[in-house]
Structure 1
Amino acid sequence: MKAKFFLLFSVLLMLAPLAAYAETTSPVEQLDEISDEALQMAKLHRYDDANRILKHFSEEFLTVTGNGRPFSMDELRIITVAHEEAVEAMANAEMGHNERMNKVTKFRLAIDAIASTHQPLWTEMEGPIMTVFNNVKTAANEGNNDQFHTNLNSFLSLYNVIYPSMKIDINPETIQKIDAKVSFIDQYRPQVLSEASSQEELEALESDLQTIFDEMTEDEADPSLWWVMISTGSIIILTLSYVGWRKYKGDSKKSKKVQKERKN
């Protein structure tokens, strides 16, 4: 009976930190959830609903900042600009669905970059961005003018979507370095197409982008989960050890009892 009680008590202790962790939602995480709701509405072409949610976000954001949440000036500027672009896109009936999605996705990723403590959502764009950039390189190497411009425009569009998020998560020196390469390639397209030396900028930019994605997507657990994992593992080991010890003691008693009966 004592063993069962101990096991039940241990399980409750094990689940308690998990429940506390799951129920804890910070104001910034709530803003993150609101931004995701807006994105989901936009995906369904429910632009009016998305717009209402974005306006609700603005109200909640003012409350959070009014309560002293320490957003940096850069974060405030990035959030404000991205939010305004998303609102304008949802209200613009003449704007195509893809462009609207780009605007609200940019906003969503920026909020997530602020809310996330590891592996922000914008890193999920690595595949599309690196694929289309590889197409830019291939077209440049082959001297294919049309494909080069088409793929470069696609890359710039995707880059623009994650740019605010990158500014939040990446140090300014690295962002400026990448920006300079992107601007050069965009501004001097004919030169990049015709000169091998200019095409080296493509290789350098690809390397910089890959380094950023690699550094941001390193496999790391959320630090706040480490205590939960360690305590849970300790309780499981303790419980199994106790149950094993009880079983050992029980088997020993049975063995002694059998031996005693045989002697009698």
Structure 2
Amino acid sequence: MRRLGWAFMVLCMVFGLSMPAFASNHTKVKEWSEINELTSEIWELGKIERYEEAANVLKFTTENIVHIEEVLSLRPEQQRVVQNTLADALSSLQNPEWSKEKKLNKLTEVRLLVDALQTSYEPLWKKTGLMMLEPFITMEKGVSEDDSVAFHQAANLLLERYETVRPALMVDLSDDEVKLLDEHVSYIDANRNHIMTDTAHQKQLETAAADFEALFFAKKDNSEPSLFWLIFSIGGIISSTLIYVGWRKYKGDQEQLRVPDKR
């Protein structure tokens, strides 16, 4: 964790992130961009463990977000996603028994959700694609090496990461796309032992990984790496790139194995 903290500080300096301008002077929010700035502020406050201030800004944001046109135009079920995500994040900040990591995960849910509502081109949740594929790689490696401990740890990590990005997906993807991902995650969680030993279940794991890859990498992303990658604590940009390269190589090898020898 010390290395992660150091890496985060370095990237903050590189990308020019500044400390949040606190919202105590705000009296009313009229623009969606202001909500986006407030959620960034909340996340920054949580990162430096100023939970009471973060909770105050989050309360202010919750009171104002319901009047923003983009939120008012959402379907009722999507409005509930917004309300529940904000409420859960506030509860996490007010719970002294929750770890910093869990609190930041909840604040990240808010940050990704608000960005998804505002951004129409490349939302932040897409920048977590490498992080979503990493558990699949580890699970498939666990299967091939008969390492059930590594497999279960990776499955737990998938559940945790998916929970973090899911609110953003629910307002940005179609119902069918979210349902597909939900079914994959539920299937993996419910069939862990079968996946370790049964080829048919392992095929389902491969299908799930392919569907996640298709949705998270629907467009080639040439933008700067997202600092949100570090939230998931797997070693930064270099490790993430190696993970994806390894994943593509693995998929290529699998395709070659399926092609019959025509000689």
Asked if these proteins are the same fold (TM beyond 0.5), I'd say: yes
Query: Cα distance 1:200–1:36, how it changes in 2: closer, same or farther (>3 A)?
Result: same
Alignment partner, residue 202 of structure 1: 205
| C-alpha distance in 2 between matches for 1:180 and 1:68 | 27
Instruction: Provide, for residues 217-251 of structure 1, a one-character-per-residue CA deviation record: whole Å limited to 9, x for no partner.
Output: 5569xxxxxxxxxxxxxxxxxxxxxxxxxxxxxxx
| C-alpha distance in 1 between matches for 2:109 and 2:71 | 25
Instruction: Provide, for residues 109-149 of structure 1, a one-character-per-residue CA deviation record: whole Å limited to 9, x for no partner.
Output: 11110011111011111122212221111112222111111
Alignment partner, residue 262 of structure 1: none
| C-alpha distance in 1 between matches for 2:222 and 2:100 | 34
**2:62 aligned residue (58, 62, 86):** 58
Query: With CA pairs under 8 Å and 6+ residues apart, which has the higher RCO, 1 or 2?
Result: 1
**2:159 aligned residue (156, 160, 165):** 156
Amino acid of the residue matched to residue 112 of structure 2? L
Identity of aligned residues (%): 22
Deviation at 1:196, TM superposition (A): 1.1
Alignment partner, residue 107 of structure 1: 110
Note the 1:60-139 alignment, pairs <5 A.
Answer: 60-64=64-68, 69-139=72-142
Relative to total residues, which structure has the larger helix share, 1 or 2?
1
Amino acid of the residue matched to residue 47 of structure 2? K
| C-alpha distance in 1 between matches for 2:71 and 2:156 | 41
* 1:123/1:217 contact within 8 Å kept: no
Query: Cα distance 1:139–1:173, how it changes in 2: closer, same or farther (>3 A)?
Result: same
Deviation at 1:178, TM superposition (A): 1.9
Tell me, what secondary structure is at the counterpart of 1:63?
coil
| 1:36 partnered with 2:40 | yes
* 1:123/1:216 contact within 8 Å kept: no
* 2:135/2:158 contact within 8 Å kept: yes
| C-alpha distance in 1 between matches for 2:50 and 2:147 | 39
Deviation at 1:194, TM superposition (A): 0.9
Deviation at 1:165, TM superposition (A): 0.8
| C-alpha distance in 1 between matches for 2:66 and 2:181 | 33
| C-alpha distance in 2 between matches for 1:216 and 1:103 | 27
What TM-score, normalized to structure 2? 0.70
Deviation at 1:187, TM superposition (A): 0.5
Deviation at 1:204, TM superposition (A): 0.3
- Root mean square deviation, CA, Å: 2.0
Unaligned runs of 5+ residues in structure 2 are 1-28, 224-263
What TM-score, normalized to structure 1? 0.69
- Greater radius of gyration (CA): 1
Alignment partner, residue 31 of structure 2: 27
Amino acid of the residue matched to residue 86 of structure 1? A
Deviation at 1:105, TM superposition (A): 0.4
* 2:36/2:115 contact within 8 Å kept: yes
Instruction: Provide, for residues 171-206 of structure 1, a one-character-per-residue CA deviation record: whole Å limited to 9, x for no partner.
Output: 111221221121111001111111011011111011
After the TM superposition, which parts of structure 1 deviate over 2 Å for at least 4 consecutive aligned residues? 62-65, 216-220
Instruction: Provide, for residues 70-102 of structure 1, a one-character-per-residue CA deviation record: whole Å limited to 9, x for no partner.
Output: 232232111101101100000011100111111
| C-alpha distance in 2 between matches for 1:200 and 1:153 | 19
When the two structures are aligned, how many residues end up with a matched partner?
A: 195
Tell me, what secondary structure is at the counterpart of 2:131?
helix
* 2:135/2:154 contact within 8 Å kept: yes
Unaligned runs of 5+ residues in structure 1 are 1-24, 221-264
